[in-house]
Amino acid sequence: MDRIPRTKGRRLCRRGRVSRLAIAILAAVLVVPVIAWRFLAGGSHNSEVDAPMLYVVEKGDFFHDITERGTVESASNIEVRCEVQGQNSAGTRILEVIPEGTYVHAGDVICRLDSSALENDQLKQKSVVENANAAKIQAESDNETAIKAYDEYLEGKYKIDRAQIDADLLVANENERRARDTVRYSKQLLEKGYITKLQLEADEFAAKKAETDSEAAKLKRKVLDEYTKEKTQVQLRADVKATAARLEAQLNTWKLEQKRLKLIEDQIAKCTIRAPANGQVVYANNTERMGGSEIIIEEGAVVRERQVIFRLPDPKRMQVKAKINESKIAAVREGQTAVIRLDALPDQQLQGIVRKVNEYPVQGSWWAANIKDYETTVEILGSPAGLRPGLNAEARIRVEQLASVVQIPVQAILTQGEKHYCFVRKDNDWELREIEVGSTNDKTVVVRRNLEPGETVALNAASLRELYDLPAAPGQPQATVLLASGESGASPSGGAGRQRDVKPRDATRTVATNGGPRKDREGRPAPPGVDRGDPAAVADQTFRQLDKEGNGRLSKDDLPEPMRARFAAMDKNGDGFIDRQEWVAAMRAVAVDARERKPRTRGG
């Protein structure tokens, strides 16, 4: 057998790959529009799809669960923060950091920050403290000197001055006494003629001088006691107070500078961060909503004061933080049970309980500012092996549970105003019956009245909606589907629904309701699938069915699997969502494309 040359073989292989790739692309282009066209009313699919499917009404337990995604975290997180104060800068740089995930013990060094600037400040502050200490010592000396001067005056100088004045007064008094005696003797001698009158006048003058000296000495003593002493005491007391105030000021300055030095030393010590407890080190990285990294803990990164650097989670107390949309948050309350599944442990089902529901919504992204989500904390009961913070989780919260109630799928119900209807099978006919509905979980609806277990209803009530005119309601003449449904051909689990043909009803037959069968232009009852209306209206209805959250936008996950490949083409404005206008425009384009691709018959 001849061998194919290697070069030619490669060409054939490449051609084979290209052919297979072309076939796959062609299949995707042909299949996706056909699947999308099944959502439209004006498509060319078989009319049996529009035929009503049957569902046998059942009575059983009703469960309403809200499922949301979240992240696992520890309920007891010890946060390790940067306690170094900013020194006229954006923060402090990390020099060394322990690897994330390391198990540490209390007291272990887990991070070292740059302390060079603080060490320079420490040297400068020591000099300032010494100068303040010298000024304090001088102030203490001045105060002690003032106190001594006050005591010196009272116990020394004042007493000396007082004693000197007393001595002068004593001499003056003695001189005055002697002068008076001399005058008295001189008068006696003058009478006897022993002295002259001039001598008597001299003795009298001496007596007056001695009296004046005595009065002067008394006046000096009075001035010393009543004026000089008081004045000197006031001045010396002021000196004591002034020096005491300066001493207090210098003492406070010295203490303040010492505190600053102690603060700098404490800041240097805090540059070495130690683990406060045993645990596993988790970096407190923070990522922006747009995907950019805002804070990354690594060597060389700058951290600010009070910023969380590490977390030491308690693996025995874990919880899930989930965000619940405002359309569902009213049903969530503390104490409700939950079932939790982890992406990392898909085979394990964990039990949980709602511990906290925030009263205020979390801040949304700039492109979804009108969407309000409320953070809800679900505690995980028990901690299996492998459970760690940061894992993605799904929490299914049981918000309502009713025992033994009548319930039917949401696709089987129509609403007109505030009233609700369903089509009940009676022999070979349909009865449009008004019912009273209760709770719903977006899949089934609890029927409170006028429907019994065992009765058969139309699962896709919309297929019979066009045959009958519902009772008119003020301001709402046309009926709409009550709640969104998934794919119209799916039967609920446990139901007896099946697809069957519905024959056109006789024009003379009436229905047990206020409404009647809708007829065509010739007066005959219109069969299912005829006159489906505006395709844009049907596309709008399909949009409401797919919009589970009711926020007026469709994400890629909201679309059926075959249509997700065309998500980017439908998203005209590139905001990551498909709004109502984009959906209707895309469905019209798909309808036109499907008609152009429809194979033609021979000779047609």
Confidence label for 426 from pLDDT (cuts 50, 70 and 90): confident
- Is residue 404 pLDDT above 50, yes or no? yes
Q: What is the mean pLDDT of the chain?
A: 77
- Is residue 50 pLDDT above 60, yes or no? no
pLDDT value, residue 595: 57
- Alpha helix (H) ranges present in 340-495? 462-465
For residue 513, count other CB atoms closer than 10 A to its CB: 17
Confidence label for 240 from pLDDT (cuts 50, 70 and 90): very high
Q: For the segment 555-585, what is each residue's pLDDT rounded down to a tens digit? A: 888 887 767 778 888 888 888 888 888 888 8
- On whether the CB atoms of residues 444 and 61 are closer than 8 A, the answer is no
- On whether the CB atoms of residues 550 and 502 are closer than 8 A, the answer is no
Q: For the segment 290-320, what is each residue's pLDDT rounded down to a tens digit? A: 545 578 889 999 999 999 999 888 777 889 9
Query: Collapsing DSSP states into helix, strand and coil, what is residue 80?
Result: strand
pLDDT value, residue 293: 52
pLDDT > 90 fraction of the chain, expressed in percent and rounded: 30
Confidence label for 82 from pLDDT (cuts 50, 70 and 90): very high
Average pLDDT over residues 251-259: 95
Q: For the segment 314-348, what is each residue's pLDDT rounded down to a tens digit? A: 777 889 999 988 888 888 999 999 999 999 888 88
Confidence label for 589 from pLDDT (cuts 50, 70 and 90): confident
Return the amino acid letter for 514.
N
pLDDT value, residue 496: 36
Element (H, E) at 74: strand 58-74
Average pLDDT over residues 463-492: 49
Average pLDDT over residues 267-280: 91
Confidence label for 287 from pLDDT (cuts 50, 70 and 90): low
For residue 366, report the phi and psi dihedrals to the nearest 5 degrees. -65, -30
Average pLDDT over residues 262-266: 94
- Is residue 220 pLDDT above 70, yes or no? yes
- Is residue 440 pLDDT above 60, yes or no? yes
Q: Which fold has domain 117-270?
A: Helix Hairpins (1.10.287)
pLDDT value, residue 153: 87
For residue 554, report the phi and psi dihedrals to the nearest 5 degrees. -115, 130
pLDDT value, residue 139: 93
Q: What angle do CA 536, 540, 545 make, to 5 degrees?
A: 145
pLDDT value, residue 522: 42
Cα 77 to Cα 280, 308, 387, 463: the distances in Å are 11, 11, 15, 56
pLDDT value, residue 29: 40
Confidence label for 538 from pLDDT (cuts 50, 70 and 90): low
Query: Collapsing DSSP states into helix, strand and coil, what is residue 487?
Result: coil
- On whether the CB atoms of residues 480 and 474 are closer than 8 A, the answer is no
Q: How is the chain split into domains, by residue range?
A: 117-270, 534-604
Q: How far apart are the first and last CA of the chain?
A: 49
pLDDT value, residue 193: 83
Confidence label for 535 from pLDDT (cuts 50, 70 and 90): low
For residue 93, report the phi and psi dihedrals to the nearest 5 degrees. -85, 145
- Is residue 524 pLDDT above 60, yes or no? no
Average pLDDT over residues 74-96: 86
Cα 557 to Cα 202, 373, 544, 547, 563: the distances in Å are 139, 18, 15, 11, 10
Radius of gyration from C-alpha coordinates of the chain: 53
pLDDT value, residue 442: 82
Average pLDDT over residues 460-471: 74
Give 594 or 232, the one with higher predicted confidence: 232
Q: For the segment 147-181, what is each residue's pLDDT rounded down to a tens digit? A: 999 898 888 888 898 888 888 888 888 888 888 88
Compute the distance between CA of residue 233 and CA of residue 145 in angstroms, rounded to an integer: 15
Confidence label for 51 from pLDDT (cuts 50, 70 and 90): low
Tokens in use for 524? 């005959």
Count of H helices and E strands in the chain? 9, 26
Query: Any idea which of 50-59, 178-187, 229-238, 523-532 has the lowest mean pLDDT?
Result: 523-532
Confidence label for 366 from pLDDT (cuts 50, 70 and 90): low
User: Under 8 Å CB-to-CB from 400, ≥6 apart: which residues?
Assistant: 62, 63, 64, 331, 439, 441
Compute the distance between CA of residue 286 and CA of residue 296 in angstroms, rounded to an integer: 7
* Nearest of 486, 489, 483, 498 to residue 407 by alpha carbon: 483
Structural domain 534-604, CATH architecture: Orthogonal Bundle (1.10)
Sign of CA dihedral 138, 140, 145, 146: positive
Q: For the segment 495-510, what is each residue's pLDDT rounded down to a tens digit? A: 333 333 333 333 333 3
- Is residue 520 pLDDT above 90, yes or no? no
- Is residue 529 pLDDT above 80, yes or no? no
Tokens in use for 411? 């696709």
Compute the distance between CA of residue 447 and CA of residue 402 in angstroms, rounded to an integer: 12
SS (H, E, C) 531-574: CCCCHHHHHHHHHHHHCCCCCCEECHHHCCHHHHHHHHHHCCCC
- Is residue 105 pLDDT above 60, yes or no? yes
Query: Any idea which of 77-81, 455-459, 484-488 has the lowest mean pLDDT?
Result: 484-488
Give 412 or 45, the one with higher predicted confidence: 412
The winner for highest mean pLDDT among 151-160, 223-232, 243-252 is: 243-252
Q: What's the whole-model pTM score?
A: 0.47
